[in-house]
Amino acid sequence: MADTWFHATPDGGRTGPMRADDLVRLLQAGRIHAATPVWRDGMADWAPLASMASQLGLPPVPPPLPRAAMPAPPRRGLHWIWIVALVLAGLAVPVLGILTAIAVPAYADYRARSGVLEVAANATPLQLTVQAARLEGRPCPITTSSRVPGADRAAFSSVEVDAARAGLLAHPRVADVLTTQDTLDPGARSVAAGDRCGIVIRLQGFDHVAIDGETLTWWLDPAAGQWTCSGTVARRFLPATCRT
């Protein structure tokens, strides 16, 4: 009976008796394993099959590695694409901040320049009306001037000028419109040929300290028949024709 073996089953039972070579064949077939408890006559208790390797004619089975000696599973780091994405995202934040700091004021200046240019373009009908009056030999229209008494103002204005001025005053960014003359005798009913007619527009509604309350001014050269523009608005907001 010394060569008669039993092995435990997963359900808590046992199988046997069988010879040692039968037990080995079961191991080789994968039906039992090195850790399967086995027993034979003369053994005090069941023991793992691996501990009986020499008695069964099997090569020795090495014991399990201690936990500290077991190779660590490979560490799964971030994929390189994610690393690149994180780096780019980190760089994008300050770059966006810089671009915003540049783009927002630049866009605000662009809108302000466009608004001033729009007002200047809307002054064209009034310029043509004043110029036509001057070509007809009439004096420069005067709509506001501290040098002209109130009784004389009607003599220096016209229905056409008042209509053109009213149209310009309707613009939301125009605070006031003055038509004037650079040399004027308050008591005269006519003007000298060299006197220049002028238009002054005071601006509003830009929410910008360099524009609101400032003026655009045009003077008509009677000899050349051309308008010369200037202004108290900050130079960067002036139309190109007014930067003289």
Tens-place pLDDT, residues 27-66: 888 888 888 899 988 888 998 888 888 787 776 656 555 6
Which pLDDT band, with edges at 50, 70 and 90, does 152 fall under? very low
Please give the backbone phi and psi of residue 216, each rounded to the nearest 5 degrees, phi first: -115, 135
Which pLDDT band, with edges at 50, 70 and 90, does 151 fall under? very low
Using CA atoms, how far apart are residues 181 and 241, in angstroms rounded to an integer?
A: 21
DSSP string covering the chain: -TT-EEEE-TTS-EEEEE-HHHHHHHHHTTSS-TTSEEEETT-SS-EEGGGGHHHHTPPPPPPPPPGGGSPPPPP----HHHHHHHHHHHHHHHHHHHHHHHHHHHHHHHHHHHHHHHHHHHTHHHHHHHHHHHHTTPPPP-SS-TTS-GGGGGGG--HHHHHHHHHHHTSTTEEEEEEEESS--TT-SS--TTPPEEEEEEE-SS--TTTTT-EEEEEEETTTTEEEEEESS-GGGS-GGG--
Residue 149 has pLDDT above 90, yes or no: no
Residue 186 has pLDDT above 70, yes or no: no
pLDDT for 96: 61
Between residues 187 and 31, which one has the greater pLDDT?
A: 31
Tens-place pLDDT, residues 72-123: 666 666 667 777 777 777 766 676 666 566 666 788 888 899 999 999 999 9
Residue 199 has pLDDT above 50, yes or no: yes
Q: In sequence order, which residues have a C-beta less than 8 Å from that of residue 227 and are 6 or more positions away?
A: 127, 131, 218, 219, 220, 221
Residue with tokens 């901040």: 97
pLDDT for 84: 75
Residue 70 has pLDDT above 60, yes or no: no
Between residues 206 and 84, which one has the greater pLDDT?
A: 206
Q: Please report the domains of the chain, with CATH numbers, ordered by start residue.
A: 5-69 (3.30.1490.40), 111-242 (3.30.700.10)
Which pLDDT band, with edges at 50, 70 and 90, does 176 fall under? very high
Beta strand 226-231 with 215-221 is: antiparallel
Residue 231 has pLDDT above 80, yes or no: yes
> pTM, whole model, 2 decimals?
0.54
pLDDT for 63: 57
pLDDT for 189: 43
